[in-house]
Amino acid sequence: MRTLLSLSLIAASSTCTDAPDRRSPAPLAQAPAPAEVDDPMADFARLVGGEWRVTFASGESAFHAWQWGPGKRSLRRMAYGLADGSFAGSPWVGEVLYWHPGLEQVRMLSVHGDIPGVGRGVGEGTIRFDGETSRAEIELEQPRGRRMLGQVQEFDGVDRYRELLLEDTGAGPRPLNELTFVRDRNRTEAATPAAEPAAVALPERWQAFEGLPGSWGTADAGEGAPELRTTFAWEPSLEIVFARTQALHASGEPTDVIDAYVFRDVRTDALRCLVLTERGDVAEGTASVAEGGGLQFDLLVHRGDRVVPHVARFALEQNGRLRTRLWALDGAERTLALDVLHRKLEP
């Protein structure tokens, strides 16, 4: 149960505009925002604030805290697992919930690390609230095959809920486990993972991402444009990289504009990615080694009921700068939408 809901997410931050701009990058959702839907994430706001604790029969406790994604169009669960309740360094991402404009559903993504005798797993599904109860339907891919899971959360007030995990093996849903979570509003909410050190050793299949962990800032944001800062974090136990891009304004708090996740598919071993923006755009696709080196992301960007194919490339140049280019695709035509240089920031 603890590993099922642990999310392995690795990310590469991508940005998108409707016209080329070689000086100031803009978020993926530079286009006008789609028609507003009654806030699809409103029911999930009850999860944010303080920290949730679950205590197992062994007496050990685990904790998690929910954090809003860009534009409050998504939520991610930052998880801890120390029996004494203390924090040990940076948390890791535990779960992502997000509104998908094309499917008009709140989607769930969950990836767990290697479990002895079981292997890795990637879970995807939908979740919805009905009054004080949320219900999720999840397809969990593991090496032994696909498992059909259900998750029911019943809230008892604002600071307590019971969670039931079920599995359908063909004879209808059967209970697997039941846990109770209690919120402590006095504890510190989970923070964004700290920047990685300058040099991080990655497994062979992730070699194209070497050099990325850490923080990067736009080399030339252009007059009047906010600097964009992207932090890449690698979580070895889950084989994920998470990236968050923030806009740094002259005054006020930084604005989260993009969260991105890249994770390894169980069946194909391909690297998949999910990008979420402050305007509600959702980009889904794959990551691979680009011709000539660097990373290539083949993406389908969902903007309302529109789907726009894009290709993004990340390349480390000889001067140590990170070059990000983005093309919008229209059939065989390719239009450059973005060409930006980033500089590595000191830890």
Shared domain for 119 and 148, answered yes or no, is yes
Shared domain for 167 and 245, answered yes or no, is no
Q: How far apart are CA 223 and CA 216, in angstroms?
A: 19
Shared domain for 165 and 229, answered yes or no, is no
Contact yes or no for 227/42 (Cβ under 8 A): no
pLDDT tens digit string along 297-328? 999 999 998 999 999 999 999 888 999 999 99
Shared domain for 160 and 234, answered yes or no, is no
Shared domain for 176 and 290, answered yes or no, is no
In the three-class reduction of DSSP (H, G, I as helix; E, B as strand; rest coil), residue 241 is classed as strand
Q: At 143, is the pLDDT very low, low, confident or very high (cuts 50, 70, 90)?
A: very high
Q: Which CATH number belongs to the domain containing residue 306 in this structure?
A: 2.40.128.20
Q: Structurally, how many domains does the chain consist of?
A: 2
Give me the residue label for tokens 């599904």: 125
Q: How far apart are CA 15 and CA 51, in angstroms?
A: 32
Q: How far apart are CA 260 and CA 16, in angstroms?
A: 13
Query: What's the rounded mean pLDDT across residues 103-119?
Result: 90
Burial 309-324 (b: 16+ CB within 10 A, else e): ebbbbbebeeeeebbb
Cα-atom radius of gyration of the chain, to the nearest Å? 20
Q: Is residue 17 part of a domain?
A: no
156, 184, 212: which is the final residue of a domain?
Answer: 184
Q: Is residue 286 part of a domain?
A: yes
Point out the least confidently predicted range of 47-51, 92-96, 240-244, 269-273: 92-96
Shared domain for 173 and 228, answered yes or no, is no
Q: Is residue 31 part of a domain?
A: no
> Hey, what are 262's tokens?
């890249």
Q: How far apart are CA 306 and CA 303, in angstroms?
A: 5
pLDDT tens digit string along 5-26? 222 222 222 333 333 333 333 3
Shared domain for 329 and 231, answered yes or no, is yes
In the three-class reduction of DSSP (H, G, I as helix; E, B as strand; rest coil), residue 112 is classed as strand
Q: How far apart are CA 344 and CA 347, in angstroms?
A: 9
Q: Is residue 145 part of a domain?
A: yes
Shared domain for 307 and 266, answered yes or no, is yes
Q: Is residue 9 part of a domain?
A: no
Q: Which of 343, 258, 325, 283 is nearest to 20 (CA)?
A: 325
Contact yes or no for 276/70 (Cβ under 8 A): yes
Q: At 37, is the pLDDT very low, low, confident or very high (cuts 50, 70, 90)?
A: low
Q: How far apart are CA 260 and CA 270, in angstroms?
A: 16
Q: What is the mean pLDDT of the chain?
A: 82
Q: Is residue 58 part of a domain?
A: yes
Helices (H) and strands (E) in the chain, counts: 0, 20
Shared domain for 175 and 216, answered yes or no, is no
* H helix intervals, 52-191: none
122, 152, 184: which is the final residue of a domain?
Answer: 184
Structural domain that includes position 124: 42-184
